[in-house]
Amino acid sequence: MLVAERQRKIVDLVNDRLSIRVTELSRIFSVTEETIRRDLEKLEKEEKLLRSHGGAVSIKKDQSELSFEEREILNAAEKKAIAIEAINIIEPGEQIVLDASTTAWYLAKELPDMPLTVLTNSINVAIELSKKEKVKVISTGGMLLGKSLSYVGPLAERSLNMYHVNKAFISCKGVHLETGLSDTLEWQALLKKQMMSIADKTILMVDCSKFGIRSFAHINPLDNVNQIITGGSMDSLYKETMTKMNIQITTAK
């Protein structure tokens, strides 16, 4: 296969799957991982995709908010494992806040029925938690985003400002050592920043495809995060830097 044809097919795969790992591309095209990395570097310079930690993500899909159904199937097994790991640090009687990420939805779905107060801007999270008798659910209200079925905007932000919680469980589109956490939409970024501000502790739940990514709207610097729960292996530079920042790193199994 010619180099140009392989690179065209790589772009097609990334746009089709939204994100893909170097190891998988290496296996698909029967070339070394170093060759794939050179391909991705070239394609990123040509603005055909974005490189991420260990792979690549689609530029086409990153420019607008994906529907909940689209996000639900992306890295589903890893997200579910991360959510289950997050549940282990939730204590009965706590007050927590969950964002509108699909990882938060997995957390709500797997959460045992126990005494808990949960603030959320997600309709899907609220629906899952409504099935649990001991969980008290408070919705932010606000402006509804149809694709993600989440509330955002000034009303949602003011609603959060009325409360204090023990823990905030959030996800994001990008985690970068220099610029910190970021998201695709400014509305979501502002709300997640507010969630972090009302919590004693912030737990970031992100799959490995998010590391090294800078998305459109800034949320907060990395030093505002207390713990990161992720799946798979983390780049040694990221792990070392975050450890120096006293961020606890947990790898979901």
Task: Give me the domains of the chain, ranges plus CATH numbers.
Answer: 3-62 (1.10.10.10), 68-252 (3.40.50.1360)
In the chain, the percentage of residues whose pLDDT exceeds 90 is 64
Residue 66 confidence (pLDDT): 55
Classify each residue of 61-89 as buried b or exposed e, where b means 16 or more C-beta atoms within 10 Å of its C-beta. Answer: bbeebbebeebeebbeebbbbbbbbbeeb
The closest alpha carbon to 235, from 209, 215, 253, belongs to: 209
Residue 192 confidence (pLDDT): 97
CA 49 to each of CA 43, 122, 210, 216: distance values in angstroms, whole numbers, following the listed order: 6, 29, 14, 15
Per-residue pLDDT averaged across 62-79, rounded?
Answer: 58
Residue 204 confidence (pLDDT): 98
Pairwise CA distance, residues 228 & 36, whole Å? 28
3-state secondary structure of 225: coil
Residue 67 confidence (pLDDT): 52
Residue 74 confidence (pLDDT): 55
CA 220 to each of CA 175, 177, 204: distance values in angstroms, whole numbers, following the listed order: 10, 11, 12
pLDDT greater than 60 at residue 159: yes
Mean pLDDT (the chain, rounded)? 89
Residue 55 confidence (pLDDT): 83
Per-residue pLDDT averaged across 188-208, rounded?
Answer: 95
pTM reported for the whole predicted model:
0.75
